[in-house]
């Protein structure tokens, strides 16, 4: 389990913020103006009624203008820390100021097969392989479904994904569902595993990623999921989007102010539904359309850090995006962009950094790339670790004892501490002859080989048979409902 702590003043560690306090406040005020002046469209009657009762102005049937006071009140009740637990009920992820955790993404519609190098459509076995790999990799802290399988009923793919995640790993889960009933079924599955609704509320093992149309348009299913989860006291990640130059201003500040207005809308609604409902904001807004290719790239540097600073300003847990690439192959670009985005997210202090091993602007995934990203997280963890400066680490007496002409190689101090250094598993560090003797493999080839070894040898902790049966009944029920 990764335990990266950033911006902890007690360690005298790295201090980074893209925005000053004054700039963050200016962005906040801009979002408040959007909410009160422009307003947002809500496509759910319960959400409209909640805001109207609280004092928001409703016009045109569903256009809500939200006063700043409702936002400030929501800040007073939203928890500043959310804890996610593992399947065994142990606290695993503390989503609070300064802690970073890493995981995969969901629903890639293509996969680069690590055995053949072929780009193809994923099947359910790829989801199983991906989650099994995540369970084994020490620096993957939470899981998402990774792939969208084409060999099961497309209406219930989310139920099959949830089943795999619950049964193939004990790590916390971030799940995405096709529609509102999928969210209800996913929660029911998690309740079966944890021992009931009260047990899941007390020790939530999963959080729902809610896709919202834009910062100004809140679709019915997103609002239904948000209010349902708030009522049950379960964590929700409310993720409005805007594509700069298309559904938002092309400037990062304008796009992020618009998206942030949408986030604040979700925050207000969650707290109106249930004060204290756990709410996780997003630090992944501000991308723009690439006007040369008309593709939305995942790895734009311009907006990075802006949303992070706003989330820190609010002292809310945040969801980030890193370890991804716009590359089409597991190549130099894939490694460079994955490393840069993970480092940017870590320095920005995002709590849940997802989309490791996402490729092709979110359309493809690779298990070999995930192994590489796992290695990078280990590197970042060592780089961000607090520096111990004391008599033992300074070793002044040893330096004086050995002097200018001696060697530290065979000293007890070296033997006691050399394992504290970082040692890679797939990065190459030998000399040229050693590399040749090992087969002259590229990084991608070594990573693919490690994937295969893990899939052959690693066996996740299984669920009891009766619980597996209950989960399958939920899936069967959903399939029958869509057929009828």
Domain ranges of the chain: 4-19+75-384, 391-420
CA distance 354 to 87: 19
User: Quick one: DSSP state of residue 418?
Assistant: G
Q: Which CATH superfamily is domain 4-19+75-384 in?
A: Trimethylamine methyltransferase-like (3.20.20.480)
C-alpha 401/C-alpha 393 separation (Å) is: 15
98 and 8 Cβ atoms separated by less than 8 Å: yes
| Residue corresponding to tokens 């989860």 | 229
To which H or E segment does residue 441 belong? none
Task: Provide the pLDDT for residue 289.
Answer: 87
Q: What is the pLDDT of residues 162-209, one digit of tens each?
A: 999 999 999 999 999 999 999 999 999 999 999 999 999 999 999 999
The tokens for 393 are: 């680490």
In angstroms, the CA 131 to CA 405 distance is: 53
Nearest Cα neighbor of 130 from 146, 109, 110 is 146
255's enclosing H/E stretch is helix 252-273
Q: CA 227 to CA 402: how far, in whole Å?
A: 67
Q: What is the pLDDT of residues 96-133, one digit of tens each?
A: 988 999 999 999 999 999 999 999 999 999 999 999 99
Give the C-alpha separation, 78 to 374, whole Å: 32
Cβ-proximal residues to 80 (8 Å cutoff; 6+ apart), any chain:
96, 97, 315, 316, 317
| Closest residue by Cα to residue 136 from 435, 425, 443 | 425
Q: What is the pLDDT, as a whole number, of residue 297?
A: 87
Return the structure tokens found at 87: 């399947």
CB count in 10 Å sphere of residue 292: 6
pLDDT of 3 reads 65
Q: How far is 371 from 377, CA to CA, in rounded Å?
A: 10
**Torsion angle defined by CA atoms of residues 386, 285, 353 and 355, in that order, rounded to the nearest 10 degrees:** -140
- Confidence at residue 8, expressed as pLDDT on a 0 to 100 scale: 52
Q: What's the CA gap between 183 and 131, in Å, rounded?
A: 20
Are the C-beta atoms of residues 354 and 144 closer than 8 Å to each other? Answer: yes
pLDDT of residue 44: 98
Say if residues 451 and 133 touch (Cβ distance below 8 Å). yes
Pick out the chain residues at pLDDT < 70.
Answer: 1-15
Count of helix runs (H) and strand runs (E) in the chain: 18, 18
* Residue 466 burial (C-beta neighbours within 10 Å; 0-12, 13-18, 19+): exposed
Residue 294: which of 245, 333, 254 has the closest Cα?
A: 245
For residue 16, the model assigns a pLDDT of 81
Alpha carbon 134 to its chain's center = 13
């Amino acid at each position: 389990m990764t335990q990266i702590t950033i911006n902890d003043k007690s360690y005298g560690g790295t201090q980074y913020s893209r925005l000053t306090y004054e700039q963050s406040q200016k962005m906040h005020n801009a979002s408040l103006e959007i909410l009160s002046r422009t307003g947002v469209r809500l496509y759910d009657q319960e959400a409209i009624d909640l805001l109207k009762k609280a004092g928001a102005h409703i016009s045109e049937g569903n256009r809500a203008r939200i006063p700043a006071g409702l936002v400030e009140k929501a800040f007073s009740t939203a928890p500043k820390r959310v804890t996610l637990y593992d399947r065994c009920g142990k606290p695993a992820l503390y989503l609070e100021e300064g802690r970073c955790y890493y995981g995969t993404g969901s629903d890639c519609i293509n996969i680069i097969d690590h055995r053949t190098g072929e780009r193809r459509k994923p099947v359910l076995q790829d989801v199983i392989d991906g989650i099994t790999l995540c369970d084994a990799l020490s620096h993957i802290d939470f899981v998402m479904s990774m792939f969208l399988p084409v060999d099961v009923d497309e209406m219930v793919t989310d139920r099959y994904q949830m089943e795999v995640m619950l049964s193939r790993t004990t790590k916390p889960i971030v799940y995405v569902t096709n529609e509102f009933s999928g969210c209800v079924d996913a929660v029911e599955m998690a309740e079966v595993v944890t021992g009931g609704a009260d047990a899941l509320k007390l020790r939530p093992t999963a959080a729902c990623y809610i896709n919202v149309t834009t910062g100004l348009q809140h679709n019915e299913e997103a609002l239904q999921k948000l209010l349902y989860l708030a009522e049950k006291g379960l964590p929700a990640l409310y993720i409005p989007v805007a594509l700069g130059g298309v559904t938002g201003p092309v400037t990062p500040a304008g796009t992020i102010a618009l998206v942030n207005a949408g986030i604040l809308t979700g925050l207000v609604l969650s707290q109106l539904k249930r004060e204290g409902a756990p709410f996780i904001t997003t630090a992944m807004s501000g991308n723009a359309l690439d006007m040369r290719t008309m593709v939305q790239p995942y790895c734009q540097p311009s907006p990075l850090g802006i949303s992070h600073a706003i989330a820190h300003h609010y002292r809310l847990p945040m969801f980030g995006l890193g370890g991804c690439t716009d590359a089409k192959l597991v190549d130099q670009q894939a490694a460079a962009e994955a490393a840069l985005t993970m480092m940017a997210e870590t320095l920005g202090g995002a709590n849940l950094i997802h989309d490791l091993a996402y490729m092709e602007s979110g359309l493809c995934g690779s298990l070999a790339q995930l192994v590489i990203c796992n290695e990078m997280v280990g590197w970042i963890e060592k780089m961000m670790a607090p520096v111990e400066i004391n008599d033992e680490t300074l070793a002044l007496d040893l330096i004086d004892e050995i002097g200018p002409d001696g060697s530290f190689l065979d000293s007890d101090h070296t033997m006691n501490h050399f394992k504290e250094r970082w040692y890679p598993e797939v990065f190459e560090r030998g000399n040229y002859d050693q590399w040749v003797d090992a087969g002259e493999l590229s990084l991608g080839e070594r990573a693919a080989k490690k994937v295969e070894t893990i899939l052959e040898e690693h066996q996740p902790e299984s669920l009891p048979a009766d619980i597996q049966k209950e989960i399958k009944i939920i899936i069967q029920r959903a399939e029958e409902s869509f057929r009828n």
